[in-house]
């Protein structure tokens, strides 16, 4: 790793807001040979609407990927489940390169760092040179966004409340969680109600998202 990359990593590790991180990520994208970047971070909860944080330097107000149609987007469909890079034809005259990334510090939260440029897709030489750097940059941006966006850890959940939210996070209904834990469904709903109140959110999906981002479900 050269001096520039060490300097860039230091900037990413000390970024304090999205605007600063956007500038840092733009510099990294250009150093990797791409004009534009888009970073998406999502909880990817099963059977529920993804809660997404977006960072990008596109001139348009919306990034190039639509998470509401994730299965129709080849880059998103690939990076949701793989940390291997994905190269695709972004337009008639442009190429894209995306990298999926996750972190054990935030169970259930996944990031996707997507780069686009005018010109041909990366060749074998590009792949060999840029792939390790892309992985490094993606992880640094992912961790920085987790740190910047992470809610203050003020709520305290009981072990049972955390257990109920963990099962909810993998798509289990209240009835199914009750069967797994061999307690009544009303008791499950009671724990969910308490958890949502403590976390200051409106429903169980939002409770799971916030608990995940706060690191309460480890």
- Are 32 and 115 within 8 A, CB to CB? yes
Residue identified by tokens 């996070």 is 169
Look at residue 47 and tell me whether its pLDDT is greater than 50: no
pLDDT for the residue numbered 63: 65
Highest mean pLDDT among 5-9, 23-27, 131-135: 23-27
Q: In the 3-class helix/strand/coil scheme, how is 88-126 assigned residue by residue? A: EEEECCEEEEEEEEECCCCCCCEEEEEEEEECCCCCHHH
pLDDT for the residue numbered 165: 92
Give the Cα separation of 145 and 41 in Å (integer): 8
pLDDT for the residue numbered 8: 83
Share of the chain above pLDDT 90, in %: 23
**Which tokens in the block code for residue 194?**
């308490």
Q: Which residue did the predictor score with more confidence, 150 or 51? A: 150
* Segment 170-195, tens digit of pLDDT: 788 999 999 999 999 999 999 999 99
CA angle centred on 145, ends 9 and 21, rounded to 5°: 55
Q: How many CB atoms lie within 10 A of CB 21?
A: 22
Dmax over CA atoms of the chain, in Å, equals 60
Quick one: average pLDDT of 112-127? 82
Give me the domains of the chain, ranges plus CATH numbers: 3-149 (3.30.450.80), 159-213 (1.10.10.10)
- The band of 151, judged by pLDDT with boundaries at 50, 70 and 90, is low
pLDDT for the residue numbered 182: 95
- The band of 49, judged by pLDDT with boundaries at 50, 70 and 90, is very low
Quick one: average pLDDT of 118-137? 81
pLDDT for the residue numbered 130: 80
- Cβ neighbours for 207, distance < 8 A, ≥ 6 positions apart: 165, 168, 192, 195, 196, 199, 201
Look at residue 51 and tell me whether its pLDDT is greater than 70: no
Q: How many CB atoms lie within 10 A of CB 160?
A: 16
Look at residue 37 and tell me whether its pLDDT is greater than 80: yes
Quick one: average pLDDT of 192-216? 84
Please name every residue paired with 185 in a beta bridge, in sequence order, or none if there are none.
none
- Are 97 and 36 within 8 A, CB to CB? no
DSSP label of 28: H
DSSP assignment of 152-188: P------HHHHHHHHHHHTT--HHHHHHHHTS-HHHH
pLDDT for the residue numbered 46: 44
The model scores a pTM over 0.75? no
Which CB contacts under 8 angstroms, 24+ apart, belong to 13-20? 13/140, 13/143, 13/144, 15/144, 15/148, 16/148, 17/148, 18/55, 18/148
Per-chain mean pLDDT for the chain: 81
């Amino acid at each position: 790793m050269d001096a520039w990359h060490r300097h860039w990593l230091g900037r990413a590790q000390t970024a304090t807001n999205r605007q600063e991180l956007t500038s840092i990520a733009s510099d990294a994208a250009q150093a990797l040979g791409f004009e534009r970047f888009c970073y998406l971070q999502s909880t990817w909860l099963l059977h529920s609407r993804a809660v997404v944080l977006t960072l990008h330097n596109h001139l348009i107000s919306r990034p190039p990927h639509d998470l509401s149609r994730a299965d129709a987007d080849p880059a998103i469909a690939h990076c949701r489940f793989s940390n291997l890079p994905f190269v695709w034809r972004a337009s008639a005259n442009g190429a894209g390169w995306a990298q999926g990334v996750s972190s054990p510090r935030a169970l259930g939260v996944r990031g996707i760092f997507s780069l686009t440029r005018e010109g041909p897709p990366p060749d074998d030489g590009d792949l060999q040179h840029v792939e390790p750097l892309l992985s490094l940059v993606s992880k640094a941006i992912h961790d920085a966004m987790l740190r910047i966006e992470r809610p203050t850890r003020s709520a305290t959940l009981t072990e049972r409340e955390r257990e109920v939210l963990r099962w909810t996070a993998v798509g289990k209904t209240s009835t199914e969680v009750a069967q797994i834990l061999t307690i009544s469904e009303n008791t499950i709903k009671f724990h969910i109600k308490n958890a949502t109140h403590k976390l200051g959110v409106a429903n169980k999906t939002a409770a799971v998202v916030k608990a995940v981002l706060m690191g309460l479900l480890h």
